[in-house]
Structure 1
């Protein structure tokens, strides 16, 4: 037992030294000139979307610049968006990969296979099995540049794309692509995606909002190898003595009971759309990176959340409800309970402006739009 503890300690000393060297590496290579190519913005986006078959392994680091007032249940999400997350990734394909999150106190690995995911907490020897649902809260693997770049560019139009100067990322030439959302409701001012010239893999993604010079999110590879990892590296079977549980997904969330007014087809000028896995009570509006979700809130939870948002510096409190922003993310509790003669209480959340939240709340209050 004592020897095992000593090996554990030395292991993390080695990891810490390795990460320190990797973090320092981009400072050196960034000084080298980056090669550019005569590639159009639309062509570069197409290369990004085609990169999901490209195998790789490497270290990545994600830095969030947001501060969200959330409950304990959403603390892991808030940490992802406000802190620094260090990841080691091995990717063989869309349903065969592994991402380890390394912290000062331990390591947690997520393994993807054809049936879902395994999450393994090395320190607690605890495994959890997930089904990889269509609707889920973001986790560390979602912040890898390779995954985030594809997701953010998937609905960008040619008119919203432009080229920017190349940079060096992880020792590679990375071609610059900028996505500037055209919708007036957008709170994201620009997304820069830096793409590996050889493979089309996004190597760095920087998300900015108009009201701050600090990026809302900056995720990049520090080191990258495009050789195919071995199957044994990504595979996982829980040890016989491990504690095993099942992950909850968002379809398990209690949205309350009772009739509510049907959500309209349009809110704040954004068109409602449907996604696999989204419960019928939730409305999703917008496209690309400009998205607004509307979720009915049970009365027992809406009061506490309303008070929590109202106590946030910069909160707007008026007859429509209470709304806040943190970088490009916006949250609002709108409406009144049916017991008080209202049409229901809703949580509005998305990458839209405060004005867009107010307009959406007004539409809900007035029952405008076509249901």
Structure 2
């Protein structure tokens, strides 16, 4: 064999070695024979399907930035890289990969540990029903559960299959125009593993937009259930372990605010997941959360919303839309107020805030 031919053979072998792992990703996607109703049923069971992989999320939502919402603003307005080990809904680990190091969430039953490698600190907390969103809520599986599971089948259409992380993923679209006309979501597109139901890609679009406001995609995917050892945390002797009783302003209000929200606001029913003073209303593409705020929480947030582009102020509230997410703070400076946020337009959020002010029940001291 001549020297040039020998090098051609070597080059071909190298190309084969490099491209072989990519082969499944390069193949065209195959359509599934499952209809949207069957895929919705499969999707509902996905939280208990084990998998592991690498996820990237990209958000374009520019939320008002305050101390209480800084983390939420970065999650929904930037690119976030996540490494995931998901055994089931009660046992999982999500690592957020940072420029220098990482921060972990490890969850077992009703306990979550937030662990920082660099600081060698671990915060242990119960997992409350009401809290602000965190990294694990950005996984495609969690976004699909929130927006798609339980959707009216009449509002769900099939999408062409798409190859995601090497899988021929089946597609579904939930059309916002088929939901409440007040929703700020135009559509949510989901592609899932037709064998396990695990969502691999979610794209959420604001009403009238041609580009997604929030994308969450599994880039590397293993459908096998990871071992329990990868979820458990075995802290070193130098790790500072702290028990945390209150996670954020939503958890604090849920535990300690001396009132109860009404059973309905803006025509939306209070959901069973609501706890204490915090109300969660609606479902699917029309959801909102209502959190009572103290003066020292409401006033800074009110000021931040005021400088948000296209903020709209009334005598009793100020609100703004960030893509498909609306944020409104009711009340006046020095009077506390309600934070109302959700996937509804500002008129609906104002109606909800008015119902909260008039319908919330304040508890006698002995019941607090």
| TM-score after normalising by structure 1 | 0.82
Separation (CA, whole Å) in 1 of partners of 2:345 and 2:262 = 20
For residues 71 and 361 of structure 2, what CA distance do their matches in structure 1 show? 37
Q: Is 2:210 the counterpart of 1:195?
A: no
- SS, match of residue 138 in structure 1: coil
Q: Offset of 1:246 from its aligned partner? A: 2.6
In the other structure, the counterpart of 1:274 is 272
Q: Distance in 2 between matches of 1:195 and 1:90?
A: 17
CA distance in 1, matches of 2:300, 2:255: 15
Cα 1:208–1:109 shift into 2, 3 Å = same
Q: Secondary structure at the match of 2:68?
A: helix
2:74 to 69, 76, 79: 79
* Cα distance, 1:322–1:103 mapped onto 2, change above 3 Å: same
**C-alpha separation in 2, matches of 1:338 and 1:255:** 22
SS in 2 for 1:308: helix
1:169 aligns with 2:164: yes
* Distance in 1 separating the partners of 2:296 and 2:361: 29
Correspondent of 2:310 among 309, 314, 321: 314
Residue 38 of structure 1: SS of its match in structure 2?
coil
Q: CA RMSD in A?
A: 2.9
Residue in 2 aligned with 1:123?
118
* Structure 1 segment 329-344 matched on structure 2, within 5 A: 329-336=325-332
Match of 1:293 among 289, 292, 295: 289
8 Å Cα contact 2:257/2:292 also seen in 1: no
Q: 1:106 aligns with which of 101, 109, 120?
A: 101
> Which residue pairs with 1:356 in the alignment?
348
* 8 Å CA contact retained: 1:255, 1:297: no
Tell me the residue number matched to 2:46: 51
Q: How far apart are residue 272 of structure 1 and its match?
A: 2.9
Aligned 8 A contact 1:66 1:81 in 2: yes
Shift in Å, 1:257? 7.0
Q: Cα offset for 1:107?
A: 1.1
CA distance in structure 1 between the aligned counterparts of 2:254 and 2:90, rounded to whole angstroms: 29
> What whole-Å deviation, never above 9, does each CA across 1:293-338 have from its counterpart, x for those lacking one?
2333323433332222112111111224211010111111223489
In structure 2, how many angstroms separate the alpha carbons of the residues matched to 1:233 and 1:104? 22
- Aligned twin of 1:91: 86
What's the offset of the Cα at 1:29? Answer: 6.5
Q: 1:193-244: per-residue Cα shift (whole Å, max 9, x none)?
A: 1011222110111111114333121001111111232222222121121111
Matched, 1:154 2:142: no
Q: TM-score, normalised by structure 2?
A: 0.83
Runs of 5+ in structure 2 lacking a partner?
1-17, 363-368
Match of 1:234 in 2: 231
Q: 1:296 to 1:255 in 2, by over 3 A?
A: farther
| CA offsets 1:92-145 (integer angstroms, 9 cap, x no match) | 222222221111111112222235122221111111112112112211122121
In structure 1, runs of 5+ residues without a counterpart are: 1-20
Structure 2 residue 220 is the aligned partner of structure 1 residue 223: yes
Cα 1:30–1:227, aligned 2, differ >3 Å: closer, same or farther?
A: closer
- State the shift of 1:361 in Å: 4.1
Q: CA deviation at 1:151?
A: 3.0
1:12 maps to which residue? none
Secondary structure (helix, strand or coil) at the match of 1:273 reads coil
